[in-house]
Amino acid sequence: MSNLSPYKIINSKNASTLKFFHNDCLNGMKNNIVSDSIDVVVTSPPYNICINYNTYRDDLPRKAYLDKLKRVSLEIKRVLKDNGSYFLNVGNKPTDQWIAWDVVSMLRGEFVLQNVIHWIKSIAINKPEVRGCSNIIEDIAVGHFKPIVSKRFLNDCHEYIFHFTKDGNRVLDKLSVGVPYQDKSNIGRWKTAKQDRRDRGNTWFIPYDTIQKRKDRPHPASFPVRLPEMCIKLHGLKDNMVILDPFMGIGSTAVASSRLGVSFIGFEIDKEYIDETILRVGSKVEPFNDMVM
Ligand SMILES: C[S@@+](CC[C@H](N)C(=O)[O-])C[C@H]1O[C@@H](n2cnc3c(N)ncnc32)[C@H](O)[C@@H]1O
């Protein structure tokens, strides 16, 4: 079935493999992935906002951009198992707040939009608003964002993660990314509250790692490894599962897959980003700490 040789295959934990293709994802998927074989897709395509990637030109006319993403998504639909999950991370820019919504609308009719998750990069909490919460002793502001110098636009502190499935019926492992109850008296009081863990909800605070130098994050638009980790766990971990990222970048989804001990297939058109991915998955792979942040 495979027409193209992978750029690199790395054996990982639990007999899983990580396959990296230096190739356009549309041709790559067509030539290398059989139908109904992928459990979870976690990906962040270019947003078409003139990001300065090494190779890719991020400035297509809107229609061409949406058409391209639709063709990729239809190919994802073909390779995704019937009970698979497609997590699509998209954001906007201040002067164009419709990008994410144009993308999601274009996929209406192809997938069921089972969940909309808000990736919160930074949040400010005023103490008076959480008076009863003894852990918060003063006003706090946590996380990172790129400040926007403008009198018109707010700093952009979130992006979307659209969770598509084929029929909207995927049963999720919500507690695998759950949080402890604030009020412990809930445990046992509710039929569903059997342990100190509840559904986190659809606002996920996932800060970027603090970096000292640009070279510590050698890609202009990578997401934190926590993001694909949480998506994969939410879908539900099982033996022999395969994760796909058609727009791999420097491989954050590959690193998450490797740490979780599941197989991964990724496509990327830029060789330097693939080499960086290989370095990242090859460096000492720490298991994830407990999810509670
Ligand atoms: C938003 S970035 C993904 C970043 C990734 N999530 C990470 O954390 O590193 C999108 C990536 O898609 C790549 N790309 C653009 N068009 C592509 C195509 N047709 N096939 C494969 N990769 C492509 C770009 O080079 C860029 O690295």
Domains delineated in the chain: 38-239 (3.40.50.150)
* Cβ < 6 A, ligand 1 pocket: 24-25, 44-46, 53, 55-56, 219, 221-223, 247, 249-252, 267-270, 273
Across the strands, what pairs with 21? 267
| Whole-number Å distance between alpha carbons of 151 and 162 | 30
| Whole-number Å distance between alpha carbons of 162 and 234 | 13
* Residue appearing with tokens 């694909």: 228
Distance 256 CA to ligand 1 centre (A): 16
* 109-119 core/surface letters (b: 16 or more CB in 10 A; e: else): eebeebbebeb
Distance 290 CA to ligand 1 centre (A): 29
| Residue among 31, 48, 49, 56 whose CB has most ligand 1 atoms within 8 A, to mutate | 56
Atom 14 in ligand 1: which residue has the minimum CA distance?
247
Distance 64 CA to ligand 1 centre (A): 17
pLDDT at position 293 is 37
pLDDT at position 284 is 65
Distance 59 CA to ligand 1 centre (A): 14
Distance 81 CA to ligand 1 centre (A): 23
Q: Cα torsion at 233, 119, 204, 257 (round to 10°)?
A: 20
Residues of the chain with pLDDT under 50: 1, 291-293
The single-letter DSSP state of residue 67 is H
pLDDT at position 70 is 98
pLDDT at position 190 is 73
The single-letter DSSP state of residue 133 is -
| Whole-number Å distance between alpha carbons of 91 and 99 | 7
Counting atoms of ligand 1 from 1, which one is nearest the CA of 250?
A: 9
pLDDT at position 209 is 81
Six token digits for residue 276:
């960086």
Report residue 262 CA to chain centroid gap. Answer: 16
pLDDT at position 292 is 41
pLDDT at position 1 is 47
Q: Are 249 and 228 in contact (CB under 8 A)?
A: no
pLDDT at position 195 is 87
pLDDT at position 2 is 55
State how beta strands 122-125 and 140-143 pair: antiparallel
Q: Are 277 and 7 in contact (CB under 8 A)?
A: no
Q: How far is CA 208 from CA 155, 255, 279, 284, 287, in A?
A: 15, 15, 19, 20, 18
Counting atoms of ligand 1 from 1, which one is nearest the CA of 223?
A: 8
Q: How far is CA 176 from CA 41, 58, 62, 180, 236, in A?
A: 18, 35, 38, 11, 8
DSSP three-state, residue 8: strand
Q: Are 270 and 55 in contact (CB under 8 A)?
A: yes
pLDDT at position 238 is 96
